[in-house]
Structure 1
Amino acid sequence: MNKRPLSLRIHLVVTFALSLLVSTLAVMQIDVLFRAAHKVPYTSYEASVNEMNNRLAWLRDEVPLRVNEYAMRAAVQEASGGKYAIYVTDEDGEVRFRSDQAREESHLDLEQLYERSGKFDEPYEGMPYVWIEHSMWEEKEVVLVLQGRLHGKEGYFYVPQSGRNMVLFVLFFVITFYLLNYRKMRRFQQINAGLSELAKGNLSVRLNTHGKDELGFVARNINAMAEKLARQLQQERQTERAKMELITGVSHDLRTPLTSIIGYLDLLRSRAYRDEAEHDRFVQNTYNKTLQLKKLIDDLFDYTRLSSGDIRLDLRRVDMKALLGQLLTEYEPLALERGLTLRARLPEANVPVDVDPEKIVRAIDNLLMNALKFSIAPGEVGVTLMAEDKRIGIVVENEGEPITEEQERKLFERFYKADEARTGAANRDGSGLGLSIARQIATLHGGAITLKHTAGRFVFAIELNREGGIGR
């Protein structure tokens, strides 16, 4: 049982994912290596602003918790951190508390301070900064003002190289994907080259079937197809060669009796016979040659009809025992003439079978004639009828000249001349189609013909269904 091939799609998905990963990591590494070339310095005042705002916000939350002036002054001083000026005023700007870093002022212009609170366009080192918060102390609203100077912090930012990174990503992805799929693409090219050679008619080409994926599966199928085509081509060539040999042989076989017929008729026409007995002999020889010519033509006609597949069987219920007995009776004089004895083994009971009587008689007739023609005389030709529940067997046995295994394989081939295989040119009065016609008749009935040959012992067997056939 063939294992299911590993999916080529899985390979493509994996290589695609690996290409994405490798490309991403490579671009990230390159970006890190070349980041210094795109580093831009800058000064940030955000930390200084946040520190001042946070200190005043802390004081805003602490003011309501301070219960006396001493605690209030301590909170103001703590919020200043020793470096910022912090004022606590009433709603009119009168200063009530101040840090040690604040100037000795008793009144602040709140309107002017509100305008400056948290605002700066272009900060610079040491730039004045004001931030104001509101809180409640002793159930009265107070204004918290912080004054200080901005101090910048040096830093850097990187100019993004998205265009360059995209180009590098695509480049790395294409290269990685190509390298990971190089072997697969090479196999595609090999398969394509192999198919091109097959298309040119070079059926000896075989592809490398290494691999358990679809490509290996396709390569094996292509090899199987090439082998099958090669066998078919060889068979077609053999068939064509056999046809040409048949045409040559049949032409010779037809010409030989036809030449004899013309010769005898010419003798009869010119009255070149000595007496009435010779006249009758010429007529009889002409008649025999005419029958031989008719037999050759009938074989060719029957073979053509059977080979066309356009023939239908006229199935009838026939007693095969009686039919075979009648045939053996008709062949007994011919067997005696050739120095042979017919030995029949028939069952006692009748053997009813659904067959086409005319065609099955032709098949058995061809087997019997083949056995009589090629048996060694004196000798015996055995005919056995075996009956089972659903099938019957008709066996014809005879002793003849041994043949090779190759000749045995070709004995039933169409256009292969049986007499050449078994007796050389000693018997060339047939068409060589008898066994092929018999096999086709058996096949039409849903049966088969087999041959067993051992050292000149030939056993032909026809196996048929007892009821019905495929041609019904």
Structure 2
Amino acid sequence: MNSILILVIVFLLICLYVSRTKRTRDIRAIATSLNEMLASNTPQKLFFATNDSTLQYLLVAINRMLKAHQHESISYVQKELAMKRMLTNISHDLRTPLTIVLGLIETILHNPNMTVHEKEQLLLKIHSRVQEIVLLINRFFELVQLESEDLELPLAKINVTELCRRNILLFYHDMESKGLEADLQLSERPVYTLGNEEAFNRILQNLLSNAIRYGSDGSVIGMALREEGPFVNVEVWDRGRGISKLEQELVFERLYRTENDLPHMRSEKGTGLGLSISKRLVEKMGGCIRLESQPFEKTIVTVQLKRI
């Protein structure tokens, strides 16, 4: 009886030893495969055949980690490319007005026979170009601040109806000077939403400025305020040249300019950052922004926020 018990114990110990040896070998093989994948910087998926449930659980966790690492790597590369493109665009946008400013200053310095009136005209042009440079730099740093999460945006109850009226009045002179009519569909009563008044004003001003700049061919600029369930939708629209289907998702990227952004329009103090800043401000208020466009029919930018 004792000899049988001893044989059973020895058999179990041998099975345990074989199992442990196999698991150790499998773990080393998994570690080797993982190191090779990381060394070659191609962490796709780790495949390893095993009946060990513990190792299967470990492999699932490793593959989840590899997938997360892959997404992070792709996101990092995309951000790097976007940053390089943005810096290239900014350097180009700064170089043009700076070159003009230097040219105007040299004209004043090297032309002693210039009249006082002529000097004043050139100084006004210099002042305008310097304002353009300051605007671009300020917007760039504002976008960097928004993306780095350094900007605190306290949310409170805001009267959307009143802010819409106030901002359309702010642009009334610009619309009138371009022969544009205003088509307003605003509620007679106050409509409240959760947001930040300063950020909301900035968003509307960016959208109205773009609508006037790009939609002047359509002779009308519109604004509508709609309540849809738990949300408030603010629409700014025009009937101008519009934006092609392929470009509609790209317009919210940093410094993106559409193919329709003609050279003579780029002198109108457009930085290509307005919609990108607007998108991030809307998202910080817990909302979303979208664009729909049918050229020469209607281009609508909708800001959706939570209703109170």
TM-score (norm 1): 0.54
Partner of 1:330: 170
Q: Is the 8 A contact 2:245 2:293 kept in 1?
A: no
Q: Which stretch shows the higher mean deviation, 367-376 or 256-265?
A: 367-376
Q: Is the 8 A contact 1:319 1:352 kept in 2?
A: yes
Q: Which stretch shows the higher mean deviation, 256-265 or 360-369?
A: 256-265
- Give the superposition deviation at 1:309: 2.2
- Give the superposition deviation at 1:234: 1.6
TM-score (norm 2): 0.78
SS at structure 2 position matched to 1:418: coil
SS at structure 2 position matched to 1:383: strand
Q: Please point out which of 75, 79, 82 is paired with 1:235.
A: 75
Q: Is it true that 1:417 corresponds to 2:258 in the alignment?
A: no
Q: Is it true that 1:435 corresponds to 2:251 in the alignment?
A: no
Partner of 1:366: 206
Partner of 2:36: 197
Q: Is the 8 A contact 2:101 2:130 kept in 1?
A: yes
Q: Is the 8 A contact 2:30 2:48 kept in 1?
A: no
Unaligned runs of 5+ residues in structure 1 are 1-23, 29-161, 468-472
Q: Please point out which of 277, 284, 296 is paired with 2:136.
A: 296
SS at structure 1 position matched to 2:171: helix
What is the rounded CA distance, in whole Å, between the counterparts of 2:221 and 2:54 in structure 1? 58
What is the rounded CA distance, in whole Å, between the counterparts of 2:100 and 2:167 in structure 1? 31
**Residues 121-160 of structure 1: CA distance to partner in whole angstroms, max 9, x if unpaired?**
xxxxxxxxxxxxxxxxxxxxxxxxxxxxxxxxxxxxxxxx
Cα distance, 1:427–1:417 mapped onto 2, change above 3 Å: farther
SS at structure 2 position matched to 1:436: helix
Partner of 1:351: 191
Q: Is the 8 A contact 1:403 1:422 kept in 2?
A: no
Q: Is the 8 A contact 1:386 1:394 kept in 2?
A: yes
Alignment of 1:10-89 (within 5 A): none
**Residues 42-83 of structure 1: CA distance to partner in whole angstroms, max 9, x if unpaired?**
xxxxxxxxxxxxxxxxxxxxxxxxxxxxxxxxxxxxxxxxxx
Alignment of 1:389-400 (within 5 A): 391-398=231-238, 399-400=240-241
- Give the superposition deviation at 1:238: 1.6
Alignment of 1:51-450 (within 5 A): 170=10, 174=14, 178=18, 182=22, 188-200=27-39, 202-208=41-47, 213-271=53-111, 278-313=118-153, 318-337=158-177, 340-353=180-193, 355-375=195-215, 377-387=217-227, 391-398=231-238, 399-405=240-246, 407-413=247-253, 416-420=254-258, 423=261, 428=266, 429-450=269-290
Q: Whose helix proportion is higher, 1 or 2?
A: 2
Cα distance, 1:345–1:360 mapped onto 2, change above 3 Å: same
State the one-letter code of the partner of 2:132.
Q
Larger CA Rg, structure 1 vs 2:
1
**Residues 324-346 of structure 1: CA distance to partner in whole angstroms, max 9, x if unpaired?**
22222232343455565442221
- Give the superposition deviation at 1:361: 1.0
Please report the RMSD computed on the Cα atoms of aligned residues, expressed in angstroms: 3.8
State the one-letter code of the partner of 1:267.
T
- Give the superposition deviation at 1:402: 3.6
- Give the superposition deviation at 1:419: 0.9
Specify which structure has the bigger relative contact order, considering alpha-carbon pairs within 8 angstroms and separated by 6 or more residues: 2
Q: Is the 8 A contact 1:342 1:380 kept in 2?
A: yes
What is the rounded CA distance, in whole Å, between the counterparts of 1:319 and 1:273 in structure 2? 58
Cα distance, 1:320–1:274 mapped onto 2, change above 3 Å: same
SS at structure 1 position matched to 2:77: helix
Cα distance, 1:390–1:254 mapped onto 2, change above 3 Å: same
Unaligned runs of 5+ residues in structure 2 are none
Cα distance, 1:389–1:173 mapped onto 2, change above 3 Å: closer
The alignment of Structure 1 onto Structure 2 pairs a total of residues equal to 302
